[in-house]
Amino acid sequence: MPAPPPAQCTPTGERPTRRSEFSAIYDEAGHRMILHGGSTAVPTSACDFPAPIFSAETWAYDDSCAEWRWLDILGGPGLRARHSAVYDPAARRMLVFGGRYRAAATGAYTLYNDLWALDLATETWSRISDGTGAAPRGRSSAAVAFDPQQGRLWLFGGNASQSGLAYASLDDTWSYDLATASWQETPSGRGPALG
C-alpha cells in the first residue's frame, strides 16, 4: 500500500467518546479508519454491565494527520450497536449490516437486517435495496466479508436473541450481490457448525 499523502492538517482536538459495540473499516484510498455507532455506556466496575447508550455518530481517524474528525452526516443507519461493517474498495464505501437497538434501559431489542452504504468520497449515507425474495433475518454480532471480484457481501451467523440476557446463535450464510440487489442463502451444511 502506498504511503499516505503529506498531511494538510488543522488539529481540532476532536475525538469520539469511548465506546463499545461499534463497527469500523479502513478506507485504503483515504488512509483513514471510519467508525460508526456503538454504545457509549461506561461500566463502573469490572462486573457492571450498564444499559447501552446508543450512538449514531460516524467518525474518521486520518492516518496522515493522526487526527479524529466527526462526520456530520444526516440520515444513515441511526442509533445501533453490534452491527457489522465491511469495506467495498471498488465503490470506496463502508457497508453496514444489521445490529440492535432499544429505546429503554430494559426490554427487548429491535434487531435489524438492513444494509447501508457510506460513500467515502462524498460522506453520504444511502440505504441499499433489500431486493426481491428472501433476506436474512435481523441479527447482531454477525461476521461479514466482501468479495471484490464478485461484488458480493458475505454474511455469516450472529445473534438472533432480542434479550440482553440470552444468545441465540445463527449458523446461516448469505451473500448479497450488489449488481442485482439480491440476497442468496448458501445451503446449510456448507459452513461452520454451531459450537
pLDDT at 3: 45
* Domain-embedded: residue 116: yes
Residue 113 belongs to some domain of the structure? yes
Residues 6+ apart with CB under 8 A from 49: 43
pTM assigned to the model: 0.89
Judge whether 161 lies within some domain: yes
Predicted confidence (pLDDT) at residue 4 exceeds the cutoff of 90: no
Nearest Cα to Cα of residue 140 among 177, 114, 112: 112
Beta strand 32-36 pairing with 23-27: antiparallel
- The pLDDT tens digits of the residues spanning 86-109 come to 999 999 999 999 999 999 989 999
Residue 73 belongs to domain with CATH number: 2.120.10.80
- Taking alpha carbons only, the member of 38, 42, 32 closest to residue 57 is 38
Domain count, the chain: 1
Does the CA dihedral 144-20-36-56 come out positive or negative?
A: positive
Residue 6 lies in a domain: no
